[in-house]
Structure 1
Amino acid sequence: MFRVYFFLLVVLVPAAEIGILLWSGKTLGLFPTLSLIILTGVLGTFLARTQGLRVLNQARQQINRGQMPGDAVLDGICVLIGGALLLAPGFVTDIMGTLLLIPPTRKVFKHWLGLYFRRWINKGNIRIIR
């Protein structure tokens, strides 16, 4: 099942990106489209950096209190993926990357990611050693 989703992701997202970029170039023009792509990349880098530092500090605080930083780890994974998506040129990846970096919408992705990891743990694909 994972292979099907991965295949669709690898084929459909670039196809959508190309279509939207062509439409944007035709509608807005070349330079406004390029400016939007560069602007989202710069803003994405800034947002990823600030959110990444916030998550890192959260993890440090949890470790200092003797807690496992599980929530901070999921936040970190979302921030890493969101930052990478914002650096990729295109509007679809920019929207997904932004959703992963904004804390209120990131909660939804963290929930899905947590369920996915729990499923892996229950199947025995991931072992937690104490």
Structure 2
Amino acid sequence: MASSDRVGPTGPRRGRRFGRWVVAALLLVPLIEIVLIVFVGQQIGPWWTFGLLLAMCVLGAWLVRREGGRTWRALQTAVRGGQPPAKELTDAALVLVGGTMLLTPGFLTDLVGLFLVLPLTRPLTRVWLQAVVASHLLGPATHSGEGSPRGSGQRRRRFSGEVVEGEIVQDPAPGESPDDHPGSPGSAV
């Protein structure tokens, strides 16, 4: 299989499975929204339902503006302080997605959007989202558990239950001798 055929760290199977979930959500969510709108319309009347949907859009726009401003200021503070803004970027993404859902007419999307945007529930979603992204991008095989940061020159990789240790050694540039790089295969150490 060519490297361009691979999708994600575990190959094309995970990518196809994710794609199926997306297609299913794109088909089911509008159907569920229509059923909920019709049900609520039968319970409280069509004009009250329309008013409720409109009120949720206005509330969502106000909430997204407020929380978006807060997350933007937190992101700027983290960057100015020289800290990695992982939490702030995740919050910004959650507010963006939640805001889009709040502005989409429907009760289910409004409920999910509120859960993503509200400052009381966003930390729960942030922890879940970071765990999902880490498991999909990094996979369970890249966690060494011994505090060696990735990219420090030494890497550990779990391979069929066995830990294989190694070190990255740079080849000498053309015209250089191996003795110019201590620790390289041809150097005298």
> Taking structure 2 as the reference length, what is the TM-score of the superposition?
0.62
State percent identity of aligned pairs: 31
How many angstroms apart in 1 are the aligned matches of 2:122 and 2:96? 12
- The aligned residue for residue 60 of structure 1 is 76
SS of residue paired to 2:76:
helix
Q: How far does residue 119 in structure 1 lie from its aligned partner after superposition?
A: 2.7
Q: Deviations over 1:24-81 (max 9, x none)?
A: 1111111100000100000000000100000000011111111111100000000000
Greater relative CO (CA pairs within 8 A, separation 6+) = 1
Size of the aligned set, in residue pairs, is 125
SS of residue paired to 1:117:
helix
- The aligned residue for residue 126 of structure 1 is none
- The aligned residue for residue 96 of structure 1 is 112
Unaligned runs of 5+ in 2: 1-16, 140-150, 152-189
How many angstroms apart in 1 are the aligned matches of 2:77 and 2:48? 43
- The aligned residue for residue 19 of structure 1 is 35
- The aligned residue for residue 43 of structure 1 is 59
Q: How far does residue 112 in structure 1 lie from its aligned partner after superposition?
A: 2.1
Greater share of strand residues, 1 or 2? 2
> Taking structure 1 as the reference length, what is the TM-score of the superposition?
0.89
Unaligned runs of 5+ in 1: 124-128
What amino acid sits opposite 1:3 in the alignment?
G
Matched, 1:28 2:44: yes
What amino acid sits opposite 1:106 in the alignment?
R
SS of residue paired to 1:103:
coil
- The aligned residue for residue 73 of structure 1 is 89
RMSD: 1.7
Q: Deviations over 1:69-113 (max 9, x none)?
A: 110000000000000000000000000000001122112221222
**Larger Rg over CA atoms:** 2
SS of residue paired to 2:121:
helix
Structure 1 window deviating more from structure 2 (9-18 vs 90-99): it is 9-18
Structure 1 window deviating more from structure 2 (99-108 vs 15-24): it is 99-108
Structure 1 window deviating more from structure 2 (104-113 vs 55-64): it is 104-113
Q: Following superposition of structure 1 onto structure 2, how do residues 110-129 of structure 1 map, counting pairs within 5 Å?
A: 110-122=126-138
